[in-house]
Amino acid sequence: MKLFETERLYLREILPTDAESMFEMDSDVEVYKFLGRRPIRDIGQSKKMIESIREQYTKNGIGRWAIVEKESGNFIGWTGFKLEKENYNGRSDFYNLKFRLLRKYWGKGYVTEATKAAIQYAFEELKLTEIFSMTLVSNLKSQRVLEKLGFKLKDKFNYQGDDITWYKLENK
């Protein structure tokens, strides 16, 4: 079931059948280089992550959505929001924008296209007033995506030994 679409993509709920593609993405060292942790090692970890994401749909009415390339029908990554309960940079209970793509789809503008649609949905349908996003200071590509989408750099902070950028987008 697609939630919404863009010119080249569909966005839908992440499904248990996405586990293999999620594993391919999340076991890639290059994908994980800017996530501050190690790649996953078995598909069981992908299945657990999918369960957690699907629980967020039920508990919070929001979550991360699969990005599907229209042309091929392939799962190519995900974008969306996580309601963060943990304290980051002195704040908790906020919507954190996250995105991730299989490496073979990098550099095609897919993340920007999909995330723009996700933000529009969050502001128009879910009536969010603000969205935050965090990246490692060294993750310049993700920072460029955020800035293209209108996010403003608000702060830098250290979290568990990693230097993090703190971005914010307000619904105007």
CA–CA distance, 2 with 46 (Å, rounded to integer): 21
DSSP state, residue 6: -
Question: Token pair of 3, please?
Answer: 């939630």
Give the closest residue to 170 by CA, choosing from 122, 107, 111. 122
Per the CB < 8 A criterion, the answer to whether 93 and 83 are in contact is yes
At 171 the pLDDT is 95
Query: Residue 95: its pLDDT value, please?
Result: 94
Domains contained in the chain, CATH given = 2-170 (3.40.630.30)
CA angle 23, 11, 122 (to 5 degrees): 115
| pLDDT value, residue 36 | 64
Please check whether residue 126 is in contact with residue 61, taking contact to mean a CB–CB distance below 8 angstroms.
Answer: yes
Series of mean pLDDT values for 10-residue runs along the chain (172 residues): 85 95 90 75 91 89 92 96 89 93 95 96 92 94 97 94 94 90
